Structure 1
Amino acid sequence: MRTTSVGVFKVATKGPGDVSGLMSMIGSGTIDPKSILAILGKTEGNGGVNDFTREYGVAALCAALAPHLALPPHEIEQRIAFVMSGGTEGVLSPHITVFTRREVERPADISGKRLSIGMAHTRDLLPEELGRSAQITETARAVKAAMADAGISDSDDVHFVQIKCPLLTSDRVEAAAARGNKTATTSAYGSMAYSRGASALGVAVALGEIAPDVRDEDVLRRYDLFSKVASTSAGIELMHNVVIVLGNSASSASEFEIGHAVMDDAIDAAAIMSALNDVRIGAAPQATKGRELVNIFAKAEASPDGSVRGLRHTMLEDTDISSTRHARAAVGGLIAGLAGTSAVYVSGGAEHQGPPGGGPVAVIARLSD
């Protein structure tokens, strides 16, 4: 059986184009650029359709890594999975998390399952397929492929599935219409929710969390259908889904572990504590001997029924600030307070990602003993 070692490195950034921290770690030999499999980032954009900090961040990383991989910048994206999530409202701090993977001999003194990572992607999707069963089916296939790439056979060992998915633009809507087809919506901003939701349902199907007979009309309507580990972000820069599976595997010799829990709402501190306890580190200040918090990944959304535990919220009615920005700030502050760090990955828009108004939260810890 192939044994891999996964590395996880959190790097603060001064702006979406700042690659100095990563380059410093490469220069010191801390990170081997040839082993980089995925980079997840939080950028200080608005998180909307016109958030070009995501594309800017990816372009900067590709340009910086190209000489180290002897590839032109445009080919770097074929080799490394980039997921840039815009929006660092409130106390959230911009940063990237770099995942590396290399094959190793499994040390005799390592027991149990350790962090493993796998990557796959769907075919390019047509505009009229976004937010519909075709995207669900293709995503489910890619999740299975990413699990195999990670050496994970049991869906219970999957703790977080990060997906970057496409959205609609006016040109893409017009292209579908020219073929005689209608898109799920004509709104670019609204299409982000459809794409995120369908992608999350694809994760749920792949992991057996829901039955595979999901219909087009279930997307953004059947909120009782959801995945407990899916995190999906929509962007303008691609037309396929990039799927990253994070879990624990017996084929990994990593010094990291991952655990997760599910938030029932935006103030569910107990779920965050459960996720921290799942990797045995607890709330800040983390004083567990031999274990160190690396990063927390979570989804956030304004509860669609307009209330949190029976009390009205105004996030959906604010015409100045979008609800996704409110939700990121609220959940980010809650997690930062419990984790003791504001450099956490909180992504807005949790359609079918956890129960309505809630979302999954995953924690990666380093075993330093």
Structure 2
Amino acid sequence: MTGVRLLTVPTTGPDDTAALDMLAENGSSIDDVLAVVGKTEGNGCVNDFSRTLAAAAWGPRLTDDAITVFSGGTEGVLAPHVNLLVADDSRDPRHDRGLVAAVGTTPVIPLEELGRAGQCEAVRDTVAKLLVDLGIGSDDVHLVLVKCPLLTSTDIAGLRSRGVEPVSDDTYESMARSRAASSLGVAAALGEIDDDTAQAALLGLRQAWSNRASASAGAELDTCHVLVLGESPAASNPLRALHTEMTDAYDLAALQDAAAVVARAGGRIRQLFVKAESDPTGTIRGLRHTMLTDSDINATRHARAAVGALAAAVKGDGAVYVSGGAEHQGRPGGGSVTVVYEVEPPTDTPNPGALR
């Protein structure tokens, strides 16, 4: 079991690691950092080098066991920032539970398995192991964050030279396939779907998802980086979490309902982790949208900007983690939502858990 603290720090660029200077002020060191989860100001697509730059800057400064998750794209009001998940097992007797976290990486994902069963199973098994490490059940989990690989044009050519057909011959679509496989692995690990349903979903079944999964893809890694956040009575800290989902990109009510739960608990929102998706039907509440047919701006960029504005309004600032592409991360057209918040002791409010 690893209790955690959360530091959210604005950045001046993808290579800005100044957030580490705040650790000493909070009684911690680099050795205590479990994960760095950041939003960088690239395009969030296949050639987003801001993610690669951030990973290259942060990786050498962290321990071998720490992970990085960088999501590109800070369109609209979204602010570039990093979230440091810092191990802290100190106990505050005024709290009878607290936020816990565990991180891990899958084995290297073979290119021929990217977006397919092998990747799904690798994520499933890694999440299951992390739950055991934390000593919590699936009902205690509020977020599983995954950073996964994608296929470059070089990867696709290499597969075909070996007589292997890739999951997609489109690099942008390979991001979606990778996110989907990772998210279905999370859903399987948490018992939200069974393995047969996961396999059917890989082949096109849309009605399978986890509202606790958040996956993003990038060219900066060849394994899946996995972060599990949950609550445990074995921890004793002021951080809590809840999860819900947006049913579509207009669903401000879902975020407001979550904020109301936090308010009733006497807490304040520390961070929102939200997935955003351009509805695959091409409509939202009966009205046609053009996000999927815009040849100038990728659909994930549209979705991040739209949903990011709602999330920022609820939190009160733009340093929110909004990631585009929500395949099997919440219902189609919507997206998973996790709220991390802080309560003042004492708290007698029951764990709100899942809202939907």
TM over 0.5: yes
Residue 272 of structure 1 deviates from its aligned partner by: 0.8
> Is 1:327–1:348's contact at 8 Å kept on the other side of the alignment?
yes
- Equivalent positions of 1:277-288 (< 5 A) are 277-278=260-261, 280-281=262-263
- Equivalent positions of 1:205-220 (< 5 A) are 205-214=188-197, 218-219=201-202
Separation (CA, whole Å) in 2 of partners of 1:227 and 1:29: 34
Report the equivalent of 2:251: 268
> Is 2:65–2:104's contact at 8 Å kept on the other side of the alignment?
no
Give percent identity, aligned residues only. Answer: 43
Report the equivalent of 1:123: 107
Report the equivalent of 2:272: 296
Q: Mind listing any 5+ residue stretches in structure 2 that lack a counterpart? A: 346-356
1:305 equivalent in alignment to 2:281: yes
> Is 1:263–1:271's contact at 8 Å kept on the other side of the alignment?
yes
> Is 2:312–2:318's contact at 8 Å kept on the other side of the alignment?
yes
- Equivalent positions of 1:236-247 (< 5 A) are 236-247=219-230
Residue 234 of structure 1 deviates from its aligned partner by: 0.3
Q: Deviations over 1:34-85 (max 9, x none)?
A: 100001000100001110101111222234x36xxxxxxxxx4x32110000
Report the equivalent of 2:172: 189
- Equivalent positions of 1:1-369 (< 5 A) are 4-20=2-18, 22-63=19-60, 65=61, 76=63, 78-104=64-90, 106-111=91-96, 113-152=97-136, 154-214=137-197, 218-219=201-202, 221-278=204-261, 280-281=262-263, 289=266, 291-369=267-345
Q: Which amino acid aligns with 2:250?
A: I
Separation (CA, whole Å) in 1 of partners of 2:260 and 2:132: 27
Residue 180 of structure 1 deviates from its aligned partner by: 2.9
Separation (CA, whole Å) in 1 of partners of 2:203 and 2:41: 27
> Is 1:26–1:33's contact at 8 Å kept on the other side of the alignment?
yes
Residue 165 of structure 1 deviates from its aligned partner by: 0.5
Residue 31 of structure 1 deviates from its aligned partner by: 3.6
Residue 30 of structure 1 deviates from its aligned partner by: 4.5
Separation (CA, whole Å) in 1 of partners of 2:54 and 2:198: 35
Separation (CA, whole Å) in 2 of partners of 1:7 and 1:238: 26
> Is 1:133–1:214's contact at 8 Å kept on the other side of the alignment?
no
Separation (CA, whole Å) in 2 of partners of 1:181 and 1:94: 39
Q: Which amino acid aligns with 1:36?
A: V
> Is 2:66–2:103's contact at 8 Å kept on the other side of the alignment?
no
Separation (CA, whole Å) in 2 of partners of 1:31 and 1:293: 22
> Is 1:115–1:258's contact at 8 Å kept on the other side of the alignment?
yes
- What number of residue pairs does the alignment pair up? 345
Separation (CA, whole Å) in 2 of partners of 1:220 and 1:53: 32
Separation (CA, whole Å) in 1 of partners of 2:87 and 2:198: 37
Separation (CA, whole Å) in 1 of partners of 2:131 and 2:77: 33
Separation (CA, whole Å) in 2 of partners of 1:37 and 1:145: 16
> Is 1:132–1:215's contact at 8 Å kept on the other side of the alignment?
no
Residue 242 of structure 1 deviates from its aligned partner by: 1.1
Q: Greater shift after overlay, 45-54 or 121-130?
A: 121-130
> 1:58–1:224: structure 2 CA closer, same or farther, 3 Å change rule?
same
Residue 356 of structure 1 deviates from its aligned partner by: 0.8
Residue 219 of structure 1 deviates from its aligned partner by: 2.2
Residue 125 of structure 1 deviates from its aligned partner by: 1.2
Separation (CA, whole Å) in 2 of partners of 1:223 and 1:171: 30
What secondary structure sits across from 1:196 in the alignment? helix
Q: Greater shift after overlay, 253-262 or 169-178?
A: 169-178
Q: Which amino acid aligns with 2:72?
A: G
What secondary structure sits across from 2:88 in the alignment? strand
> Is 1:131–1:216's contact at 8 Å kept on the other side of the alignment?
no
Residue 107 of structure 1 deviates from its aligned partner by: 4.4
Separation (CA, whole Å) in 2 of partners of 1:169 and 1:143: 26
Separation (CA, whole Å) in 1 of partners of 2:203 and 2:100: 31
> Is 1:261–1:274's contact at 8 Å kept on the other side of the alignment?
no
What secondary structure sits across from 1:223 in the alignment? coil
Residue 135 of structure 1 deviates from its aligned partner by: 1.2
Residue 171 of structure 1 deviates from its aligned partner by: 2.4
Residue 220 of structure 1 deviates from its aligned partner by: 6.5
Q: Mind listing any 5+ residue stretches in structure 1 that lack a counterpart? A: 67-75, 283-287
> Is 2:4–2:100's contact at 8 Å kept on the other side of the alignment?
yes
